[in-house]
């Protein structure tokens, strides 16, 4: 592992993009399977569906109670987890670097809990709810008080978390923010704990490389972008970024 090399890349105050996936939250005790809590790897659900089907927009429209059942299980797993040192390092770097953005696929809300503000939650978060029938929205810390199938207090329609279900389009707001930030360009892109299977997650790495920037991957495994990066740290996020925090003397929240 060469954290010293990463430290050197950050020394010149580059415009920096972190891209994070489920592997980041693994160090907070959350499993990594497909970014949906890791609760169903190699098995179906008790409703006879794969987890991808149960957490799809199509099933939600037909059987919202089924989708809600598994969303609740994922939220419960997230509820008992807290940010780890890697989350806090990224938040601290927002204050240290002139420009630092985090693009996350995770819906657990741990980046915000650690203090990140310049954040693009491309798949949404389980902590924001919205009505499917009107403009009602709410922010919740957990689902403990919610009924099995929540409904809107204003119009009575079914409520859902603001997360991207399987087979759904990405939200326009976060996508527009991502396109805007990529249009400005980044001098350093750091991919952390993601397999980079989705094109919009891998693309910023390739774009940065094409534009002459530096690229880094922190991941114990080989991924879709491993061959594209200038520096690979084959370890967990907390290990690598924890060492970086010591070298940079970062004050963590």
DSSP string, the chain: --HHHHHHHHTT---EEEEE-HHHHHTTT---GGGTTS--TTS--TTSS-HHHHTBHHHHHH-HHHHHHHHHHHHHHHHT----HHHHHHHHHHHHSSSEEEEE---S-HHHHHT--SEEETTEEEEEEEESSSS-EEE-S-STTS-SS-B-TTT-PBEEEEE--BTPPPPHHHHHHHHHHHHH--SEEEEES----SHHHHHHHHHHHHTT-EEEEE-SS--TTGGG-SEEE-S-HHHHHHHHHHHHT----
> CA Rg, the chain, in Å?
18
In this structure, the strands spanning 159-163 and 137-139 are unpaired
Among the listed residues 7, 80, 87, 123, the single catalytic one is 123
Q: Please say if 123 is a catalytic residue.
A: yes
Which positions are catalytic? Answer: 123
């Amino acid at each position: 592992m060469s954290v010293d090399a990463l430290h050197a890349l950050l020394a010149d105050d580059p415009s920096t993009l972190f891209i994070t996936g489920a592997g980041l939250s693994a160090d907070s005790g959350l499993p990594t399977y497909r970014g949906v809590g890791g609760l169903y790897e190699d098995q179906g659900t008790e409703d006879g569906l794969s987890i991808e089907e149960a957490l799809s927009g199509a099933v939600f429209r037909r059987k919202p109670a089924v989708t809600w059942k598994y969303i609740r299980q994922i939220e419960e797993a997230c509820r008992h987890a807290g940010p780890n040192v890697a989350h806090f390092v990224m938040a601290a770097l927002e204050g240290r670097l002139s420009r630092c953005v985090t693009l996350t696929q995770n819906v657990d809300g741990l980046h915000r809990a650690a203090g990140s503000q310049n954040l693009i939650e491309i798949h949404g978060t389980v902590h924001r709810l919205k009505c499917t029938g009107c403009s009602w929205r709410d922010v919740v810390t957990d689902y403990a008080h919610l009924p099995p199938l929540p409904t809107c207090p204003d119009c009575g329609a079914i409520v859902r978390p603001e997360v991207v279900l399987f087979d759904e389009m990405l939200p326009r707001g976060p996508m527009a923010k991502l396109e805007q930030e990529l249009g400005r360009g980044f001098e350093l892109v750091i991919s952390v704990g993601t397999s980079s299977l989705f094109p919009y997650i891998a693309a910023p790495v390739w774009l940065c490389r094409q534009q002459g920037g530096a690229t880094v991957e922190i991941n114990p495994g080989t991924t879709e972008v491993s061959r594209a990066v200038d520096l690979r740290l084959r370890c967990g996020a907390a290990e690598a970024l924890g060492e970086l925090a010591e070298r940079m003397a970062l004050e963590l929240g």
